Structure 1
Amino acid sequence: MDRPSPLPTPPAAERRAPAPAREARPSASGRPDDAAPSRPAVAAADRAVPRETPVDPETDATGTSLRDVWRASRARRRALRAEVKRFTVRQRRRRRVWIGVGVAVLVTVLGTAGAAYSPLFALERVEVVGTSQLDAAAVTAALDDQLGTPLALVDDSAVKAALVRFPLVESYTLEARPPHDLVVRIVERTPVGAIESDGVFTVVDAAGVALSTSSQAPPGVPLLRVDGGADSTAFRAAGRVVRALPDGIRSQVAEVTATTADDVAFTLTGSGSRVVWGSADESAEKAVVLNLLLQKSPPQAGREYDVTSPEAGVVRG
């Protein structure tokens, strides 16, 4: 019986250990089957091909995952933020200081405004100063309607309406003294004389504002005999002259006359001495010269003092 030819011998590197021999089994003919067919061998080329490894979609060609990239980017951002904070620490400190100052100022302003407009600063007392001819109590009573009003809300127009009823008030100022006081400083009008008309004497100031009226000549106020009335230039010049006189001389003036703005003159009480003044220009210098002349030559009947030119005062009589 012919035997099958043996299989080709594989290379030495790919040889496997010989499989254990199988026991011969008797065939159907009763003889042992010593030549059982064997499985064909796998080709060496097929065993050498490596299997494909599945690729992770989150891993790039270098083997670095996207998670590693994200972590590195986050670490870099943190490092950059730390560097920015380190180099801007002074700037941020200054900003915090300025913000703190601004907030403090805002809180102070709001708190002050809130307190100023609250009943905590309500007006309780009105003090009137600067009056000599005017009754201060009457002025205070005229402002009673402002009591209880916060100092910041005192109505200036209401105060003006109350004070305009007093002719002697030339001007005024208001001074708030927290928490409850209001000071009214009044500048009174200075009477310069009285104008007689139809038996009625009207006391006026230098602006011609009527201060009071009476049927008799008011004491201590000179009589004005001025051409053109209170609207003339002669009256304005006479008013300026009377206001420029010292108090000691003004109280001695009995009568003031003027036909124009350049020939103002007046007489003194008691002696009847006459003072020729001229225009209202250089009134302050003329008042000084007149005072010296009166000291050197006291007033007497028929005496005249000419101070038209303050550089050369003249005494006649």
Structure 2
Amino acid sequence: MGMSICVVGAGALGSAFAALLLDSGCDVTLLCRRSEHVKEINENGLAVNIDGQTKVSMVRATADSRDIPVVDLIIILVKSRQTRGAIQSALGVVGGKSSVLTIQNGLGNEEILAEVVGADKVLSARTYVGSARNHLGQFEVTIQNKETVIGETDGRITPRLEKIARTFGDAGLLTVISQNIVGTIWDKLLVNLATGALSAITRLAYGDLYEIEEVERSAFEIITEGINLADALGVEITERNLKVIWEHARVRLPRGFKASMLQSVERRELTEIDFINGAIVRLGVRFGIATPANNAMLAALKGIERSFIS
């Protein structure tokens, strides 16, 4: 038997990671918020379309962490605005030797988790795996040639890090260990800064979004502000070419793929804007660096979110 794992969050990515890890021999439980979703998974299994092939995995699911024994690894795969509530709901499965891994977008999740469980338990990862719901309501996930980068927050290569990386690799996930996970977090942030907000505001899937010259120019301005803040913080990012960063998000994804932020808007849910473009705006104020393009994205998404309750 492989690692015992609790995946917190039953969206497309959480479901895909749970199914892949279970099928590779891990002992996996999916912690969900909605009891009706738990009932459906436990009765019918978890159906996920991965790289064009639908598989059904009999993952255990529960809405109550008291149903789960202490595990080796807790994977946090919820929206950033739900991070604190998610880890608090999972405290019952966190033991003395447990590790907590965030695979979320944006800035601030590691700090929230550290406040709740202690910094020594927290590892970080960023993934370029694409996920969405199709017209049938099924989760579609693209993992082929899509990296998941994992690291200790202090840059060390530790036995637990290597074990998690091996476990992910055995599950079919292209996994890379980083000694600069902070740089990795910012690399992914730069991609999310441009694609997420612009997709959500325009309501366009990637195929149409990437064909509009004015959208690309706006994306470059948004990314540039992010790079300026990374430099101010002394973060070592791995890519500075604006075109390369902009194009990275859509590699091997279908034209109809929708950014996570657009998916939230279409469901009339709050987005992760505060943890992505909003984080850049707050850092800009702190360092006295202008961030007009990111502030425009923040303002527009706040207006859209306000319309959901008006």
* TM range, smaller chain: under 0.3
> TM-score normalised to the size of structure 2?
0.23
**Could you say which structure has the greater relative contact order, defined with CA pairs below 8 angstroms and 6 or more residues apart?**
2
Larger-Rg structure = 1
TM norm structure 1: 0.22
Q: Which structure features the higher share of helix residues?
A: 2
